């Protein structure tokens, strides 16, 4: 993960320095000139399990164009400043698939420590014509019972959605997923 090397306030090179914080001594990247602290807090990421109301309730999963492996995943995106999580996920779904969200149900919140992210996942009931953004290479529509979950990140959101439908999720191991 890319990290700051220079102070975003005064451009002085940051230094790893231990200081006394509320929770005890803690080493962080800090600016020796202006006392800026790089907290490195996790970034909120919005994720959608999209249920296509006009396609027999099937679930849309999409493959990112940048991925070498042929895995299908939830629609995700970063929150923008000045929007609610609900407005943000509806915007992401529209931008990525052209579908219009008509109902949003919060599935849950999961930490994704490897990416230093917090995933905020919604079940999104949507309809409309599917037009993928250039970021996405292809999509597939799955009956909920046919979905095999992945163990990390948004896979927990997928599993939660399936359980809400009375389906006990099965998980693939990542080696299988990357090879497919």
- Which residues make up the interface to Zn ion (CB under 5 A)? 7, 9-10, 12, 31, 33-34, 36
Q: How far is the CB of 38 from Zn ion (least distance, A)?
A: 10
Whichever of 31 and 93 has its CB closer to Zn ion, that residue is: 31
Exposure string over 114-129, b if 16+ CB within 10 A, otherwise e? eeebebbbbbbbbebe
- The single-letter DSSP state of residue 112 is E
DSSP state of 101: E
Q: Which is nearer to Zn ion, 12 or 113 (by Cβ)?
A: 12
CB of 6 to Zn ion, least distance (A): 8
**Cβ nearer to Zn ion, comparing 9 with 164:** 9
Nearest distance from C-beta of residue 10 to Zn ion, angstroms: 3
Supply the DSSP string of 33-77, one letter for each residue: TT--EE--PPEEEEEEEEEETTTTTEEEEEEETT-SS---B-EEE
38 - beta bridge partners? 29
SS3 90: helix
Nearest distance from residue 32's CB to Zn ion, in Å? 8
Q: Which is nearer to Zn ion, 27 or 66 (CB)?
A: 27
């Amino acid at each position: 993960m890319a990290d700051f090397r220079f102070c975003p306030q005064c451009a002085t090179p940051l230094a790893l320095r231990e200081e006394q914080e509320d929770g005890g001594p803690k080493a962080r990247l800090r600016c020796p000139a202006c006392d800026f602290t790089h907290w490195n807090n996790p970034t909120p990421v919005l994720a959608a399990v999209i249920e296509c109301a006009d396609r027999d309730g099937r679930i849309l999963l999409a493959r990112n164009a940048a991925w070498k492996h042929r895995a299908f995943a939830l629609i995700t995106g970063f929150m923008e400043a000045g929007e609610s999580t609900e407005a943000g996920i509806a915007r992401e779904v529209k931008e990525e698939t052209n579908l219009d969200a008509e109902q949003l149900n919060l599935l849950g919140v999961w930490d994704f420590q490897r990416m230093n992210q917090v995933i905020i996942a919604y079940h999104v009931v949507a309809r409309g014509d599917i037009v993928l953004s250039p970021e996405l290479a292809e999509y597939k529509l799955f009956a909920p019972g046919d979905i095999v979950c992945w163990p990390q990140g948004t896979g927990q959101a997928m599993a939660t959605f399936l359980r809400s439908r009375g389906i006990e999720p099965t998980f693939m191991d990542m080696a299988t997923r990357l090879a497919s």
